[in-house]
Structure 1
């Protein structure tokens, strides 16, 4: 079997370590932190950040940054809906800015970012699905040096973004499943309290919880939690 050249071997080992770190991460927050820290190690960037989309949300949220300057770069775009981040989310394409002092695609934004000391920007979409048509976020890479990102950096960034997209989607799914299991346990405990106190069956106990949830516009799990904590149901809002 032919051996890899030293640079390729180091990169393969680095990605193998990333895969293990993402697999061992306890949740979404730990997962995204591992991604941005890895970006600093593997790419020609001084700062990195990750913005994630959430179903039903009006705009993306800043999930992780390695420096406050990245939060400023993101906020300038999210507040105005103008900039490479917005374009990446909308068009599911990579955006490379070689020099913010000369790029004319988003001149007002670029001028502000250049004033922050950022010259090079590489934004890569985090795509999921078999046909990679769903964008779950954007990996942003930044450097104070003009033309900092070459073809190798872009290729590595795409690999990292793919790892990140799968890991974030998996972590979100795990958290959702955990939340759902916890909610079922809470509702079950609350139903048990009602069944014992009022001598009703499980269907009637669930109906009582559901009615209080609807009357007060409170999630069912929150009604259940309040009953467990206080042994009282919330007062009707009607």
Structure 2
């Protein structure tokens, strides 16, 4: 059994990344560095990626360790569903032990499995009250990740979000400030809409997110717009 990466080693990893970012403060560089570091940090990982998203869930930047991760990531945004989007929207960790039998993302899962991926673990990148995006690790083996992996990725995601927020702030402070306010409103709307769906349709937390994504996709609306329509009652009979 692989040992946990010691916390002091995680600190060393971030110190190295932060030093590199001081010489090239770009978001693109940051997400690439963090994807590589995540692959090293989480035992059992075959590939890792980092996705940054705007307040409407649209990807603005990404980093990936290999082409398979890039393809799996691109499919999530093409199809409007997947562990990365769910993790970002719910601001919680998401894990699937076997994509061959996973039913939460009915469009994305079979195509990701066809790429040879079997396990996935994704955590949101949250800085203060803003969800910047998500970081995810993949494995070609089923059951590759467990509660310990979740803890490690969560520990990794915290300082990663801080680093990314600082880089974003250095590049575009006015835009970041505006996105922070909009992200808070957007996430609150999404959370409230999920609660409405859980009560109205008797859904679980995961199923309410899947239903919200389905409504957004079928109406060609953003997650925020779909959430607001549900809250206002206009989305009651959609889908």
Please state which band the TM-score falls in when normalised by the shorter chain.
0.5 to 0.7
Structure 1 pair 58–47 and aligned structure 2 pair: CA distance change class (3 A): closer
| Distance in 2 separating the partners of 1:92 and 1:77 | 17
1:155 to 151, 157, 160: 151
Aligned-pair distance for 1:128?
1.1
Residue 69 (structure 2) pairs with residue 74 (structure 1) = no
Residue 21 (structure 2) pairs with residue 21 (structure 1) = no
Q: Comparing 139-148 with 60-69, which one deviates more in the overlay?
A: 60-69
Residues 49-81 of structure 1: per-residue CA shift (max 9 Å, x gap): 0110135x6612341000111111111110121
- DSSP 3-state at the match of 1:31: helix
Residue 91 (structure 2) pairs with residue 95 (structure 1) = no
Q: Do the aligned residues in 1 keep the contact of 2:39 with 2:46 (CA within 8 Å)? A: yes
- DSSP 3-state at the match of 1:107: coil
Q: Structure 1 runs of 4+ off > 6 angstroms?
A: none
Aligned-pair distance for 1:30?
2.8
| Distance in 2 separating the partners of 1:107 and 1:69 | 19
Structure 2 unpaired stretches of 5+: 176-239
Q: Do the aligned residues in 2 keep the contact of 1:73 with 1:113 (CA within 8 Å)? A: yes
Q: Which residue of 2 aligns with 1:53?
A: 53
| Distance in 1 separating the partners of 2:73 and 2:36 | 18
Higher-RCO chain (CA-CA 8 Å, sequence separation at least 6): 2
Q: Do the aligned residues in 1 keep the contact of 2:120 with 2:139 (CA within 8 Å)? A: yes
| Distance in 2 separating the partners of 1:34 and 1:147 | 26
Aligned-pair distance for 1:104?
1.1
| Distance in 2 separating the partners of 1:166 and 1:21 | 15
Aligned-pair distance for 1:134?
1.7
Q: Which residue of 1 aligns with 2:142?
A: 146
Q: Which residue of 2 aligns with 1:83?
A: 82
* TM-score in terms of structure 1 length: 0.65
| Distance in 2 separating the partners of 1:154 and 1:66 | 20
- DSSP 3-state at the match of 1:50: strand
Q: Do the aligned residues in 2 keep the contact of 1:47 with 1:143 (CA within 8 Å)? A: yes
What is the RMSD of the two structures over their aligned residues, measured on CA atoms? Answer: 2.1
Structure 1 unpaired stretches of 5+: 1-6, 180-238
- DSSP 3-state at the match of 1:79: helix
